[in-house]
Amino acid sequence: MKNAIAILSATESEQNPLRDLLGDRCAGRDLFWHVGGIGAGATAGAALRIIRDRRPGLIIQAGIAGALPHKHLSVGDTVLVRSDYQADLGAWRPETGLFEPFDTLPEAEVIVCPYAEPLREHFRPIAARSVNSACSPLPLRGGEALESMEGAAFFGVCAAEKTPFLQLRSVSNQVGEPRIRWRIPEALDALAWSLAVLLNVLSDYNLSNPNA
């Protein structure tokens, strides 16, 4: 259904506030809601099933994430992810006790979302990294500002299937701080209202040609 938008979240706790606010139709489009599961594998499988079973015009991955150090993101900031990569591909070397990242190999390169940059007027586009083990002490590649667990897998499937995609994330914590300090309800509230804004803004954009 080319006019429909699928919204994918990792957990019910992330998605429920969004669906409660928006329902199953917003800005003239039907919304299909999917909880895909946590991590790269679950998300890749869920995204592929959505694309092949429902054929949406757009998939939005919506969820919370952690801000990486020194990147000027605060709790409740909501951003579009313009690029993502799987940062925890690699091996722990027993001879050194260090992690050897594989993220610079061609098979693990950064995946760019061409649909985020045209929306810069409304949302800040940032670079992100994905890890299956959140808050891992992994080296930064460079300009990434956000850490999630699913974004790179989501980007990879959507790009391979040639389906328009966006990743909307709200900051719930600073990566590395104790979980007791995470402010998840505040982040989810910001995410819900930002998703409503995004859905209304998208009516002015040609998703089949992100540079139009």
Position 71 scores a pLDDT of 67
Collapse the DSSP code of 63 into the 3-class scheme (helix H, G, I; strand E, B; otherwise coil) and give the result: strand
Contact 48, 42 (CB under 8 A): no
Contact 185, 80 (CB under 8 A): no
Contact 125, 79 (CB under 8 A): yes
Position 120 scores a pLDDT of 92
Position 197 scores a pLDDT of 95
Average confidence (pLDDT) per 10 residues, the chain, 212 residues = 88 95 91 95 96 95 91 90 88 82 74 94 93 74 87 95 97 89 94 95 73 52
Contact 197, 122 (CB under 8 A): yes
Contact 140, 99 (CB under 8 A): no
DSSP state of 138: P
Instruction: Please report the domains of the chain, with CATH numbers, ordered by start residue.
Output: 5-204 (3.40.50.1580)
Position 207 scores a pLDDT of 65
